[in-house]
Amino acid sequence: MPKLGMEPIRRAALVDATITEIGENGTLDVTVSQIAKRAGMSSALAHHYFGSKEQIFIAAMRHTLSLYGAGVRGALAMTKGPRGRIEAIIRAGFSTTNFRREVVAAWLNFYVLAQANSEARALLLIYQNRMRSNFVHDLRQLVGMRAEGTAERIAGLIDGLYLREALGREVPSGEEATRQVLEALDLEIGFAK
Amino acid sequence: MPKLGMEPIRRAALVDATITEIGENGTLDVTVSQIAKRAGMSSALAHHYFGSKEQIFIAAMRHTLSLYGAGVRGALAMTKGPRGRIEAIIRAGFSTTNFRREVVAAWLNFYVLAQANSEARALLLIYQNRMRSNFVHDLRQLVGMRAEGTAERIAGLIDGLYLREALGREVPSGEEATRQVLEALDLEIGFAK
DNA sequence: GCTTTTATTGACTCGTCAATCAATGAAAAC
DNA sequence: GTTTTCATTGATTGACGAGTCAATAAAAGC
């Protein structure tokens, strides 16, 4: 029965299951058995591949972050000009892939994880810094020396809308959120409406 | 030894201890014993007064929210005019009482709790709605029909800055955060700088 | 064909922790 | 002064869950 080369498949299945499970329960308070069951294997196997529950979480977080990063890069590749680039980053964050209930719940819980786990914190900081430096770079050409402040506010607003979405009962509306952030962006760069 | 009328004192001590403990660990993953010990009593007594761990959390949340609410009311009482009122609300949120590491961590975790516990969710929604309606009311006179959108953005930014603060290692700077939100507010109401 | 490697799990260990309970003592009520 | 009520805890129960391990089995290597 043992097919060889299962490791990557099992790992991926566990990571997926972890995010779904966190999303469904809204907490990191999920058992390895739950995750393993959803991924279609025994909890022993999950431990075999990841060593500990914490490492499963970290892997799930890495995956979420890298999905997000890929979305941003993809969007950026097709765009030119500072304003367009910023808009692309914003849109990527609220795309249907990223702005889903389970993913939002996972993000929220990753913030909690980052409070206690320095590896998790480091990952989140990398993501934050990358986003900030992207914004600052492009904003410089639009708002000059106000770039830093504007970047903080736009990034902060994005995070805030994510957080608020975590509370809503409905399916997240990426369009609505995108509109809000773009509106704030336009105010910042002085497109009077 | 049993002094009478201990109930309110014990309850308050437990609530305080809960927030501190959540803040210190960054998680809801704290034991009743930890909390009780910090509050200077046995875990049995904690159960005696609150019945369950969940109820301790809810009480801690209620307390945090009502502290916040009191801060806002206090600030509002001394102010007139829509712009001043909005500024007061913002300042109250980032005041040294509310914008402390432990309290920020507690908020973050209350959001997580709200995912799983409908009582917690209801509490948070009340707070959000109150804040939004405050903002909308005052903004109406400043930005007319744009009030709803602006309120969402300002409230979202506030939440976002809270969330981001949870990650920082340093002592939260309420001034900096306040400045950011006020800047966004001024852009919204058209005070070109 | 034997040996090593990879995949896989059921059963088990060991801790931890929420919640309960019976017991103790002290104030208040009567 | 005796009974009730409030305050308090040590000890215990019962569950649950992370992580380990020994055992099984199939592929790959030699």
Q: What is the pLDDT of residues A109-130, one digit of tens each?
A: 999 999 999 999 999 999 999 9
The arithmetic mean of pLDDT across residues B156-171, rounded, is 93
User: How many angstroms away from the CA of A178 is the closest CA of chain B?
Assistant: 11
Region A10-22 average pLDDT = 98
Q: If 0-12 CB within 10 Å is exposed, 13-18 middle and 19+ buried, where does residue B21 land? A: buried
Helix (H, G, I), strand (E, B) or coil at B29: coil
Shortest-distance nucleotide from A50 CA to C1': D19
Residue A25 confidence (pLDDT): 97
Region A134-161: mean pLDDT is 96
In whole angstroms, C15 C1' to B117 CA is 27
Identify the pLDDT of residue B41.
97
- Segment A90-107 shows an average pLDDT of 95
Confidence (pLDDT) at A190: 83
Whats the size of chain B, residue-wise?
A: 193
Mean pLDDT score of chain A? 94
Reported as a single tens digit per residue, the pLDDT across B27-61 is 999 999 999 999 999 999 999 999 999 999 999 99
Nucleotide minimizing C1' to CA distance for residue B53: C18
Residue A5 confidence (pLDDT): 85
> What is the model's pTM?
0.94
Distance of CA B2 to the CA centre of its chain: 34
Helix (H) / strand (E) element for B33: namely helix B32-38
Statement: residue B10 has pLDDT above 70 = yes
* Backbone torsions φ then ψ of A31, nearest 5 degrees: -90, 155
Q: Which amino acid belongs to residue A32?
A: V
A67: its two tokens? 């999905």
User: How far does the CA of A53 sit from the C1' of D25, in Å?
Assistant: 27
CB A157, CB B160: distance < 8 Å: yes
Least Cα separation, residue B185 to chain A (angstroms)? 10
Nearest to B131 by CA among B150, B151, B148: B151
Tell if the CB–CB gap between A187 and B183 is shorter than 8 Å.
Answer: no
Question: Residue B163: what residue type?
Answer: L
Backbone angles phi and psi of B129, in degrees to 5? -65, -40
Q: Count CA within 13 A, CB hemisphere, residue A89.
A: 24
ipTM of the complex model: 0.93
pLDDT at B193 over 60: no
Residue A169 above 90 pLDDT? Answer: no
- Partner B contacted by A155 (CB < 8 A): yes
Instruction: Tell me how far apart the alpha carbons of residues B64 and B57 are, in angstroms, rounded to a whole number.
Output: 11
Both tokens of A148, joined, read 């830093």
